[in-house]
Chain A
Amino acid sequence: AQKVTQAQTEISVVEKEDVTLDCVYETRDTTYYLFWYKQPPSGELVFLIRRNSFDEQNEISGRYSWNFQKSTSSFNFTITASQVVDSAVYFCALSGNNNAGNMLTFGGGTRLMVKP
């Protein structure tokens, strides 16, 4: 069975602080994909990144960066110089190659509050 754990349920920071959201996963699949989605107050899940299990290179996109470490089964997400607009719930998700439909297993989400 697959499992995704986001141990931080809520994080509160002041604008311009850096913040890291943790994600730990469990899977027996040899090939799998990891995702991060953002859910702002409007409710829609917005796709942020998709990472193949064979690609352990870290990725940076503007103020966002992701650290994938297979050895610790972690896929952490860092926001640099946070802004109020980053306030949202962030979900980490996993899909494996034994899953014919590629359906996603989600973590419980981390609510990020960025205060001005």
Chain B
Amino acid sequence: GAGVSQSPSNKVTEKGKDVELRCDPISGHTALYWYRQSLGQGLEFLIYFQGNSAPDKSGLPSDRFSAERTGGSVSTLTIQRTQQEDSAVYLCASSLFRGGAITDTQYFGPGTRLTVL
């Protein structure tokens, strides 16, 4: 079946502009995650959605970052007033969520490479 898709694959923007990154999870996966991969920080968790529950925003680096998930499927990560340090690859992942002591495998999309000039 189709995997996680992300768009755009590349985004170049000017400092101070807002950007929106999109993620389409695997059909049937109720959990959706955003991570960021940068040279200095490695792979770091940003935000997590599960079903209709309030998202876990504990990994967002500043209030310029926000995300939403419409209809329990597609998610958009928005970065306002972009800064050069926001340059990174933004990865989306999805998984089943059986809860309890079970951790299901997260499957990743190809990522969006964001460059802030």
Contact = CB atoms under 8 A, between A and B. Distances in A.
A57 interface: no
A44 B59 CA distance: 21
Chain A: number of interface residues, binned into ranges: 20 to 34
Interface in A30-45: 31-33, 35, 37, 42-45
Interface residues of B, number: 27
A103 B108 contact: no
B109 A104 contact: no
Interface string B82-101: 00000001010101010001
B108 A37 contact: yes
Contacts of B107: 47
B101 A31 contact: yes
B31 interface: yes
A102 B101 CA distance: 10
Contacts of A97: 101, 103
Nearest to A32: B103
B50 A101 contact: yes
Contacts of A87: none
A109 B39 CA distance: 11
B25 to A, nearest CB: 14
A106 B42 contact: yes
23 contacts: A32-B103, A37-B108, A42-B110, A44-B109, A46-B108, A47-B106, A47-B108, A91-B43, A93-B43, A95-B103, A97-B101, A97-B103, A101-B50, A101-B56, A102-B31, A102-B97, A103-B33, A103-B45, A103-B56, A103-B59, A106-B42, A106-B44, A109-B43
The 6 closest A-B pairs by CB, nearest first: A45-B108, A106-B43, A101-B48, A33-B103, A103-B45, A102-B103
Interface of A: 31-33, 35, 37, 42-47, 50, 91, 93, 95, 97, 100-109
